[in-house]
Structure 1
Amino acid sequence: MDPVLRASSGIWIAHASGDADQAVTDRNGCVPVPPDDPRYLLQRVWLSPEQAEGYYQGFSNQALWPLCHLAYTQPRFDRHHWRTYQQVNELFAKEVHHAVGNSRALVFIQDYHFALLPRLIKQQCPQAIVAHFWHIPWPTLESLRICPWQREMVWGMLGSDLLGFHIPQYCRNFMTAARHLFPRMKVEQRNTLIGREHSTKVRAFPISVDFEEIDRLAASAEVSRKMGELRRSLQLSKLVGLGIDRLDYIKGIPERLQAVARFLELYPQYQGQFSFVQVAVPSRTGIPAYQQLSQIVSSLVREINARFGREGWEPVKLISTNLPMADVTALYRLADFCLVSSLHDGMNLIAKEFAAARCDGQGVLLLSRFTGAAGLLRDALFINPYDTDETARQIQRALELDPTEIRRRMRRMRSQLRRRNIFQWMVDLLAASVECGAAPLGGAEESFPAAAAL
């Protein structure tokens, strides 16, 4: 969003947290960005601890997150959390109205924290063009029906002029839900839902990464130095496998570690010759399901190392901290393969970052069939993370794949990512918003502010 807002002189409305935000904002909660040459305003929205708990830790991440991901974690539907979620969406709508009023503004909403916000904005700012991108999967109708507030959520999202998902399947899931809940809605060609007073275009916009920046960093002297440091400090073997994730139950980290153990069991010749590095960045540590997952992962790593390890060799290296991007990129470069074993994932940008970082044309991507990226990165080796033996065999295949085949597959993935980068994703979203009636950003006919609610 930063480059877009710099070009459009827009407003970025976002939740504030910590004393640092308070220290740099004015009495209206705003801070110019960048401070030395302001191009847009960052406007902070202050939430009480109770609001943050109920809205973010509560309904967003204990109800919507498991509801939208087929990872077999039961959602928690708490009426107090739901009411807080409503209150925070109403608070953001008020801030957007204060920022754009009745002007012909493009308001870009991001993610599942704001299901109710599009309609709230439309009610207060009827001239605004509202685009909403939902960064996680949209569930099937059968899954959605367990949510007590399914109707309110879908109705809120139908306030959007443009509603974006990662892949066409999620679009179809949403349209099925909308027509089931609101039978009088009609469907126009190209996935447009037509109501009595409003229409919503539903489109797929597969998000991507900043290919050029990752490629530049991967080829830098800093990353080359980091590669040597990490190989020494982690005591890595000649052959290296890699997993990088937030510590989240949708990422399939226990399933991945079990597959690594099965690989070492099926192919004992690799024992002592292979290291698997798992980066598991702590996430949502206040939620019991995540606390339990952390214990499971640590226990599995200890069991695998106790079973297969020997003096001077430890098969699994667990890193439980957030790493600088240079270190992450160095690990991408060191790895003979990257294993993405998500049980369900809207897109999964780790897969794309790995390919973007392989400026040497090396490395094999093992990718879960249950990620949005699987429909795009077709030169990966695909796995079913629930099938431990299949994943183990694909690890062995990745390590023994012909070098010419490795380069061919990586070249094609990198070529695709170079064309379909994060900036193209943003251009596509803005172009579709223009079709909804918004003038181009910075266009000659009319200039207008852009507010991004995050």
Structure 2
Amino acid sequence: MVSNRLPVSLERTGDDTWRTHPAAGGLVSALDPVMRRRGGVWVGWPGIADETTDTLRDVLDTHHNADSAYRLEPVALTAQDIAGFYEGFSNEVIWPLFHNRFTACRFEPEYWQVYQQVNREFARRINEVARADDFIWVHDYHLVNVADELRALGLYNRSSFFQHIPFPTADIFCNLPWWREIVYALLSYDFIGLQTVTDRVNLLDVLTTLFDHVETTADDDCVDVEIGDAGLEPHQHRLRIGTLPISIDYDHIAELAGSRRTAEYIERFREGWHGRTVMLGVDRLDYTKGLPEKLEAFREALTRYPELRTRISLQQHVIPSRQQVPQYAEQKEQIERLVGEINGEFTESGWVPIHYIFHSMEPAELMAHYQVADIALVTPLKDGMNLVAKEYCAATRDNNGVLILSEFAGAAAELGDHALLVNPHDVIATAERIHEAYYMDRAERQSRMQAMREIIQAHNAFDWVEDFLRAAGANSTNLQKQ
């Protein structure tokens, strides 16, 4: 397993003392339980700069590897690496471009140079620890070049790539000055997994934009691609692309939702709402999450439907993220200004319309908020999947909840028949959906929620992994490509 971040972060607390923290994020949430069940090696950066590989390996051996079902292998990065690779190319080029925010991109040539350098370093570490028959699974947009770098090192293990974020249309993607290099790097993978059919179609469009001879053969959720153009390396002519939406560890979420620790939080939270309807938002600080649009939609709902005032409150949790990036700091200021405006406009004695909290949460606290909420408002402008939507459903054990979901979240392809879908740019229509959710009768709420829970339970994180490995041919004999 290869990802930008390991599932634990390291912190130096003294000359010879260290502390570990669980890493946050949807990727870790989905993959950690799988690795605990299957075993293997996970290669990634442990969240601390300017330490040697030997030091990081010794710390991980002591604090994780000694009693874990799988092994962590660190990639050592400098502060300069992180600035150019992660904060630069990954977050100021690929992230906004792939989320249709072309105007937010900073196409700095230095970012591209550092991105290639760091991908090369990841490949070196994989080459050091991989055995001849290992299957290599690389995750997400930070590490597109890894397979190409592995080929350059002479490592021809079967390798696959899964992209957790959307894949853009060809006209957006080709604005990237290095789009051709990215495509050639992707062709070094044997298999590429994407979240939705739309993502797969977009990638195929990019391939047909670059190459004259592209033939495809569809097979269930996968497409076999053969490129006939001259000039490609032998291993770049054939590729398999699959639609494999990621999921969650349903049983773990359900168990945590029913824990004593969660029950203590639930009791405390319910006392504070005095029987009012609670609409919940849980979003990482990011301009792709549609937070200003969500707040404007709630303002519109309170304006159009005055009877909702004092009866419903929006509890909006924003998880800190990338605050050193100027656009994220600006987004936080905009959100807090809107919260102040709306609360100033509508607050009445004993009732505040928006309860805004900027913080991180422990899992039991999050599960409690899911269960106290009558409505979840999940309205990203663009999202690869959005696991919050699935976690909310899995945690709603009494089935008595309504999910309002953006049609631009990958989860809409699976849950859209039972969630209330919205276009988050349309604040009036979203306000109408809030009104509909508030007045939905219990029988319909439970019917819709039960259906979504069954869908998620029937295809959990472990099923997703098995489907991916099967589609990628990971269980077949490794083929040496010459």
* Alignment partner, residue 324 of structure 1: 362
Counterpart check, 1:193 vs 2:225:
yes
* Alignment partner, residue 117 of structure 2: 87
Using the alignment, how far apart are the partners of 1:40 and 1:185 within structure 2? 40
* Alignment partner, residue 379 of structure 2: 341
* Alignment partner, residue 350 of structure 1: 388
Q: 1:131 aligns with which of 138, 160, 168?
A: 160
Q: 1:401 aligns with which of 435, 440, 447?
A: 440
**1:72 CA displacement:** 6.0
Q: CA 1:8/1:410 → structure 2, altered by over 3 Å: closer, same or farther?
A: closer
Counterpart check, 1:51 vs 2:81:
yes
After superposition, give the CA deviation of every residue in 1:165-207 in whole Å (9 maximum; x if it has no partner).
0011101111110221122343334312224623211001100
Q: 2:254 aligns with which of 206, 215, 218?
A: 215
**1:36 CA displacement:** 4.4
Q: State the superposition RMSD in angstroms.
A: 2.3
After superposition, give the CA deviation of every residue in 1:292-350 in whole Å (9 maximum; x if it has no partner).
00000000000011000022221100010011111111111111100111111111111
* Alignment partner, residue 141 of structure 2: 112
Q: Which moved more, 1:311-320 or 1:18-27?
A: 18-27
Using the alignment, how far apart are the partners of 2:405 and 2:245 within structure 1? 16
Using the alignment, how far apart are the partners of 1:336 and 1:145 within structure 2? 43
Q: 2:100 aligns with which of 34, 49, 70?
A: 70
Letter in 2 for 1:122: R
Q: CA 1:409/1:6 → structure 2, altered by over 3 Å: closer, same or farther?
A: closer
Please show how residues 264-343 of structure 1 align to structure 2 within 5 Å: 264-343=302-381
Using the alignment, how far apart are the partners of 1:38 and 1:294 within structure 2? 38
* Alignment partner, residue 462 of structure 2: 423
Using the alignment, how far apart are the partners of 2:84 and 2:280 within structure 1? 35
Using the alignment, how far apart are the partners of 1:5 and 1:353 within structure 2? 20
Using the alignment, how far apart are the partners of 1:73 and 1:343 within structure 2? 15
Specify the SS of the correspondent of 1:251: coil
Using the alignment, how far apart are the partners of 1:20 and 1:107 within structure 2? 26
Q: CA 1:382/1:28 → structure 2, altered by over 3 Å: closer, same or farther?
A: same
Q: CA 1:117/1:292 → structure 2, altered by over 3 Å: closer, same or farther?
A: same
CA contact (8 A) 1:243 1:279 kept: yes
**1:96 CA displacement:** 1.1
**1:429 CA displacement:** 1.1
CA contact (8 A) 1:17 1:46 kept: no
Counterpart check, 1:410 vs 2:449:
yes
Using the alignment, how far apart are the partners of 1:26 and 1:400 within structure 2? 55
CA contact (8 A) 2:53 2:75 kept: no
Letter in 1 for 2:408: F
Specify the SS of the correspondent of 1:409: helix
CA contact (8 A) 1:106 1:438 kept: no
* Alignment partner, residue 228 of structure 1: 267
Query: % of aligned pairs identical?
Result: 34
CA contact (8 A) 1:33 1:40 kept: no
Using the alignment, how far apart are the partners of 1:240 and 1:164 within structure 2? 37
**1:266 CA displacement:** 1.0
Q: 1:10 aligns with which of 37, 40, 53?
A: 40
Using the alignment, how far apart are the partners of 1:92 and 1:238 within structure 2? 51
Q: 1:375 aligns with which of 401, 413, 416?
A: 413
Q: Which runs of 5+ in 1 are unaligned?
A: 440-445, 447-454
Using the alignment, how far apart are the partners of 2:36 and 2:100 within structure 1? 38
**1:8 CA displacement:** 5.4
Specify the SS of the correspondent of 2:71: strand
CA contact (8 A) 1:185 1:194 kept: yes
Using the alignment, how far apart are the partners of 2:114 and 2:334 within structure 1? 31
Q: CA 1:19/1:178 → structure 2, altered by over 3 Å: closer, same or farther?
A: closer
TM-score, with normalisation over the residues of structure 1?
0.91
Q: CA 1:7/1:325 → structure 2, altered by over 3 Å: closer, same or farther?
A: closer
Q: CA 1:383/1:265 → structure 2, altered by over 3 Å: closer, same or farther?
A: same
Specify the SS of the correspondent of 2:411: helix
Using the alignment, how far apart are the partners of 1:346 and 1:267 within structure 2? 33
**1:7 CA displacement:** 5.6
Greater RCO structure (CA 8 Å; 6+ sep):
1
Q: Which runs of 5+ in 2 are unaligned?
A: 1-30
Letter in 1 for 2:430: T
**1:71 CA displacement:** 4.5
* Alignment partner, residue 14 of structure 2: none
**1:290 CA displacement:** 0.4
Letter in 1 for 2:188: G
Q: CA 1:6/1:271 → structure 2, altered by over 3 Å: closer, same or farther?
A: closer
* Alignment partner, residue 147 of structure 1: 176
Q: CA 1:238/1:21 → structure 2, altered by over 3 Å: closer, same or farther?
A: farther
